[in-house]
Amino acid sequence: MRTNSAENEQKLFLTADSQGGYFTAKQAGSAGYYNRLRHYHVEKGHWLSVDRGIYRLRNYPSFEREDLIRWSLWSVNREGNPQIAFSHHTAMAFHQLGDIMPAKIHFIAPPGFRKKISGGCVVHRAKLSPEEMERHEGFFVTTPFRTLFDAYIYGFEPDQLQKSVLDAYKRGFIPGFKIKSAKTAGGSSPPPPGMTDFISYLEGVIAVYRNDAAHGKK
């Protein structure tokens, strides 16, 4: 029994360690901690119950974006897989593009997402491809390129969007091949609505920046 307990503890820790110290009731059950044991560890103060079916190891070091981890775990489906990717304003701030300070959490959920959304979130409906998301510690966020596309479609303030594009370009987030591949996305299928205009906008902003840089302008 002692060996099983140690193995269960190690298994749960490995799961929690990949998610900033957080884990779901389903993940705890997979590690051998069922209802009675979960209640026991919460009562003893080993675990913190932070939301319905979501726990945190009490002594795990603090993580910078624990709010994103909690929302991601909240979104899991019956198989235990997160259904959302943080996007728009939240992704812009995460990637440090522009000077965005979002008041609410923005994320993209699949069209069939049915969970009740609180007032602190803005949900956008779309089906993302794996190439449009990045996995971080306990959550997914849209790539810089997809984030800028969403910001363009959403109608970000022009000066802020331009600054964000240039921030991304200077940091290598918008290589030429990415623009070219976006133009031909889907092969014979048409590009996503708005993508053609977005690419033209990107090329225009980058062309002006490169011309100014060539002539010594800031």
Share of the chain above pLDDT 70, in %: 94
- What is the model's pLDDT at position 178? 72
1-29 mean pLDDT: 89
pLDDT tier at 1 (50, 70, 90 boundaries)?
A: very low
Look at 175 and 89; give whichever has higher pLDDT: 89
Average pLDDT over residues 5-32: 94
Q: What whole-number distance in Å separates Cα of residue 214 and Cα of residue 17?
A: 48
pLDDT value for 189: 58
Given a cut of 80, whether residue 216 has pLDDT beyond it is no
- Reported as a single tens digit per residue, the pLDDT across 30-70 is 999 998 999 999 999 999 999 999 999 999 998 888 999 99
* pLDDT tens readout for residues 138-154: 999 999 999 999 999 99
pLDDT tens-digit readout, 160-214 = 999 999 999 999 998 776 777 776 655 555 678 899 899 999 999 999 999 888 8
CA 139 to chain centre: 5
- Residue 92, pLDDT above cutoff 90: yes
Q: Where are the domains of the chain?
A: 2-57, 66-214
The average confidence (pLDDT) of the chain is 90
pTM above 0.85, yes or no: yes
Query: Would you give the distance in Å from CA 113 to the centre of its chain?
Result: 16
In SS3 terms, the chain reads as CHHHHHHHHHHHHHHHHCCCCEEEHHHHHHCCCCHHHHHHHHHCCCEEEEECCEEEECCCCCCCCHHHHHHHHHCCCCCCCCCCEECHHHHHHHCCCCCCCCCCEEEEECCCCCCCCCCCEEEEECCCCHHHEEEECCEEEECHHHHHHHHHHHCCCHHHHHHHHHHHHHCCCCCHHHHHHHHCCCCCCCCCCCHHHHHHHHHHHHHHHHHHHHCCCC
